[in-house]
Structures are given as structure tokens and as C-alpha cells.
């Protein structure tokens, strides 16, 4: 069905136009010479060359792309429960071949819950695929089909991408009818840090943002530079409607490569880390430690991970600005810097501290435990919240009581002020979590009651930056943040 709107020109209107034109010719007030459009031959040649470059890359890479159909268990379970004959629920996606013996990379969410995975190649051959391994934290998966001599896509250097570089996306949008479609766009942004909604609390990824068109079914497909190298895996669209609105997000190849290598070798990914919890630095953090711009990550709990980082000299509130001399701009960059090293490996960690002090520490990495689930506590919907009093932190606080959380370390004093709500227009919005965090210290002073808090804040002025330490009862984690007091 076409949606073009045509406005017909009626015969009377045409006659009127002819009559007006005749009058104008008779009058001949002045000769009118229309300027001739001049085409820049160099510009035309450049456009042709760009189109030819697109064509060369597309023709070379399309045979490495595959169409994936996921026959989900959910459909079979639903049919069994209802007693009907409803077939398995199916969904489709994209992948690309990385080894000639049949290894294929795609997104985890493309294969999630699969009862059977079917792969169709560009030349129409179809296979039942084996699921080699998945990594939900990075939304990546590896499949294998029983075939050899397949064309292979080569991963490139995503760190070499710059805003404005041309890229191509190949995928299967909206199902089989539009399979192996090619779209072009530019890199709109790099290091676009977002928190994945499908993984644990540390799932913070640096995405490549592009305006190459993608829709449902493009997930798992390659993002390709004009050298024919895979620079990313298309994973999501940023949309308010569920369909393309101009923003496509891709997992960078420099993160894809080590994940895929481990999935092929072990079927899973094991990561190492510093053994501390961190958050991206804020303006208040940068001001407190004397940074000229906002970057780095703030240590929330140096005693986590058995206390080894704390013994190495790391403190709560330290801002990590580099690892092994490489600048750390965000949590995602810190993860990439340490994730794929071995437990026991030592790294050099550069930190900035309150007052502008700087220090370089040697810290041994340790294996990270798996992190799943939501750390928000479930609370009765009809629970009546106690009244809140205004405070310059922009929080609704209640006294948490004297009893520690169930299962909490008895040596940890978890008493303090429970964060009932974080006001969206207040200075703590985005820093503290309602119904999760308990404030235990402000500016290093222990607070167990609202009176304790009032006493500490009475010595502070509006606009002053204060440090806030927290405890999360369910996960038994300590946190650290800085808040600029409101007037």
C-alpha cells in the first residue's frame, strides 16, 4: 500500500497559469536569464568513488553474514500448558562467520531461550547450529555449524574509529523478506556508555553509536568500516517507539574479540577485576580531587574482595584515573582494562585523592564472582512511608533501626539512615538508590539518626561538596559518593 500524497493540478489552474505567462511575455518588462547549475566534477567523482567503495565492501562481506532463526522453548511450554498445537515461538536475527570451520558470532539476546537454532547462509544453504557459548554480560554468543571452507569476516580495531567515519551495517531487518540488507551511515559517537538492562549491576558497556539504519532482526550483524573490517556487532537501537529512530548501537570489536576467543575455547568467559566496587566520577568528585575535567571512576568500597585492594593502599573515594598508564575515562574502560587478564596479575593503578593528592598503587587482580539479579529490595506496595523532612541532600531519609540486615556480616554496623526516596530535582539524584542505600557516614562522621545528620550538615554551607558513605543491606556492599549540597 502506497502512502504517497499526490496533489492534482486541475485544468482551470493550468489555463490560468498559461494566461499569466502570456501576459508576462507581452509586457516584456525585462529579460530574465536563469542561472545554469554548475556541477563540480571533483565532487561528483568523489561521490561515485564512495559508492564504489560501499559496493566493494558489501560484495566482499555479505557472504560472511548469516540469517539466524531461534525456535524458542517458550512457545513449546505455552502449547503444552494450554494443550494446544501452537508451534514454537520464533524470532530472527543476524550473525557473521569468524572461522572457516563454522564458528559464528551473534548477540546473546538473539539465541536466548532457544530450543533449536537454524542458520541460513548467503548462498541459501541451511544448517542446525550448535550453541558453543554465551556471555550475557556483553550480550555476545558463539554458534557453530558443521561446515568448512566458509568465507570469514575479520575483526578490526574499533579504537581507530573516529566520529564521522563511514560504516556499513549488514543484517536481516524485519525477517527473511529483507535478509542481507546493507545500510550506510557515519559514526555518530564512540564510547557511548550505557548500562545493559539484561545483565548484572556491573554490565556497563562502551557502545559505538551510528546512524546506519537498523531494525528488529539486525541484532548480531556486523558493523563494517570501509577497509572491510568488522568494527562492531550491532546490538540495539535507541528508540522510544521500538523501531529505528536514527540511533544504532554496536558493541566495539576490541571488546568482541577477547570474549569470542574465550567462548570458542572454554564456552564461557571468566573475568578478573580489582576487587572493588566503582562508579563513574561526577563533577563533585572531579572538584574534590582537583581534576580539570570530569573523568575516572570513584572507589565505592576498597574493603570488598577480601580487603586486598585496601591493603594495597586504595581508599574509599579515590578516583582511579589510569591503569598501567592508560587513561580511564569511565567504568566501561576500567572493565576493559582488567577483565581479560589473569587472577594474580599485578596492575599499576593511578588515583587522585581529596585535596588534589596523587598516588600510584600496585594491585593484584582477582577472579570476579558472577553477578546476577536485581539488587533492589522488594517492599510491600501498600507500605506506609514515614514522613520526610527537607534536607540539603535532596533525600527522603528514615532511621533504619538498630538491627543489622538478615545475613549481614555481624562485624559490620549497618545502622544509619535509610534512603526512602531520591528527589529527581535534588543533588543526590542518580547517585543514591531509593529503598536500597543506607547512609552510614557523611564527611567521615558516623550518622545513626536524623539528629546526627543535622549536626554534621549544620557545619556545612549550601554549595559545599560532602562525602557520603552507604551500605546496601541486600548485597552487603559499601558505597561512596559525593554530593553538592543544595540551598
List the catalytic residues.
Answer: 109, 139, 219
Joined grid coordinates for residue 1:
500500500
Q: Are 111 and 85 in contact (CB under 8 A)?
A: no
**Element holding 96 (H helix, E strand):** strand 90-99
Round to whole Å and give the CA distance between 224 and 231: 6
Residues facing 236 on adjacent strands: 249
CB count in 10 Å sphere of residue 142: 27
Give the contacts of 29 (CB within 8 A, at least 6 positions apart). none
Q: Are 90 and 69 in contact (CB under 8 A)?
A: yes
Residue 57 DSSP SS3: helix
Joined grid coordinates for residue 229:
573490517
Round to whole Å and give the CA distance between 395 and 427: 9
Q: Are 279 and 469 in contact (CB under 8 A)?
A: no
Round to whole Å and give the CA distance between 12 and 434: 70
Q: Are 483 and 393 in contact (CB under 8 A)?
A: yes
Round to whole Å and give the CA distance between 112 and 94: 13
Q: Which residues of 281-319 are buried (b: 16+ CB within 10 A; e: fewer)?
A: bbebbbebbebeeebbbbbbbbbbbeebbbebebbbbbb
Amino acid at each position: 500500500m502506497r502512502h504517497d500524497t499526490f496533489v492534482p493540478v486541475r485544468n482551470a489552474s493550468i489555463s490560468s497559469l498559461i494566461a499569466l505567462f502570456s501576459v508576462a511575455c507581452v509586457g516584456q518588462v525585462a529579460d530574465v536569464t536563469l542561472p545554469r547549475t554548475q556541477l563540480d566534477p571533483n565532487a561528483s567523482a568523489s561521490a561515485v568513488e564512495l559508492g564504489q567503495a560501499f559496493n566493494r565492501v558489501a560484495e566482499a562481506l555479505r557472504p560472511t553474514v548469516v540469517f539466524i532463526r531461534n525456535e524458542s522453548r517458550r512457545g513449546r511450554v505455552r502449547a503444552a500448558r494450554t494443550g494446544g498445537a501452537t508451534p514454537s515461538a520464533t524470532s530472527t536475527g543476524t550473525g557473521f562467520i569468524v572461522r572457516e570451520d563454522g564458528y559464528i558470532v551473534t548477540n546473546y539476546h538473539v539465541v536466548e531461550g532457544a530450543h533449536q537454532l537454524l542458520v541460513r547462509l548467503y548462498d541459501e544453504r541451511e544448517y542446525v547450529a550448535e550453541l558453543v557459548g554465551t556471555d550475557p554480560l556483553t550480550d555476545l554468543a558463539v554458534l557453530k555449524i558443521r561446515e568448512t571452507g566458509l568465507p570469514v569476516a575479520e575483526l578490526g580495531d574499533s579504537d581507530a574509529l573516529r566520529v564521522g567515519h563511514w560504516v556499513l551495517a549488514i543484517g536481516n531487518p524485519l525477517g527473511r523478506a529483507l535478509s542481507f540488507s546493507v545500510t550506510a551511515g557515519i559514526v555518530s559517537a564512540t564510547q557511548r556508555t550505557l548500562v545493559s538492562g539484561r545483565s548484572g549491576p556491573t554490565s556497563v558497556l562502551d557502545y559505538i553509536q551510528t546512524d546506519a539504519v537498523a531494525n528488529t532482526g539486525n541484532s548480531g550483524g556486523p558493523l563494517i568500516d570501509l577497509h572491510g573490517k568488522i568494527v562492531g556487532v550491532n546490538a540495539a537501537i535507541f528508540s522510544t517507539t521500538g523501531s529505528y529512530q536514527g540511533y544504532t548501537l554496536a558493541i566495539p570489536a576490541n571488546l568482541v574479540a577477547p570474549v569470542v576467543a574465550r567462548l570458542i575455547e572454554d564456552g564461557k568467559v571468566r573475568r578478573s577485576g580489582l576487587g572493588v566496587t566503582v562508579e563513574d566520577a561526577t563533577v563533585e568528585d572531579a572538584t574534590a580531587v582537583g581534576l580539570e575535567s570530569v573523568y575516572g571512576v570513584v572507589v565505592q568500597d576498597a574493603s570488598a574482595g577480601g580487603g586486598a585492594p585496601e591493603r594495597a593502599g586504595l581508599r574509599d573515594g579515590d578516583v582511579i584515573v589510569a591503569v598501567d598508564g592508560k587513561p580511564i575515562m569511565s567504568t566501561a574502560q576500567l572493565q576493559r582494562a582488567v577483565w581479560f587478564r589473569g587472577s594474580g596479575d599485578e596492575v599499576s593503578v593511578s588515583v587522585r585523592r581529596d585535596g588534589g593528592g596523587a598516588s600510584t598503587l600496585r594491585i593484584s587482580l582477582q577472579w570476579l564472582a558472577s553477578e546476577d539479579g536485581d539488587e533492589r529490595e522488594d517492599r510491600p506496595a501498600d507500605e506506609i512511608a514515614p514522613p520526610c523532612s527537607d534536607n540539603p541532600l535532596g533525600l527522603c531519609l528514615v532511621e533504619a533501626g538498630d538491627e543489622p540486615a538478615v545475613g549481614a556480616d555481624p562485624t559490620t554496623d549497618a545502622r544509619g539512615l535509610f534512603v526512602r526516596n531520591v528527589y529527581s530535582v535534588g543533588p543526590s539524584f542518580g547517585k543514591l538508590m531509593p529503598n536500597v542505600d543506607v547512609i552510614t557516614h557523611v564527611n567521615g562522621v558516623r550518622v545513626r539518626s536524623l539528629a546526627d545528620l543535622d549536626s554534621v550538615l549544620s557545619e556545612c554551607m549550601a554549595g559545599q561538596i560532602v562525602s557520603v558513605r552507604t551500605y546496601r543491606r541486600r548485597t552487603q556492599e559499601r558505597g561512596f559518593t559525593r554530593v553538592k549540597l543544595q540551598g
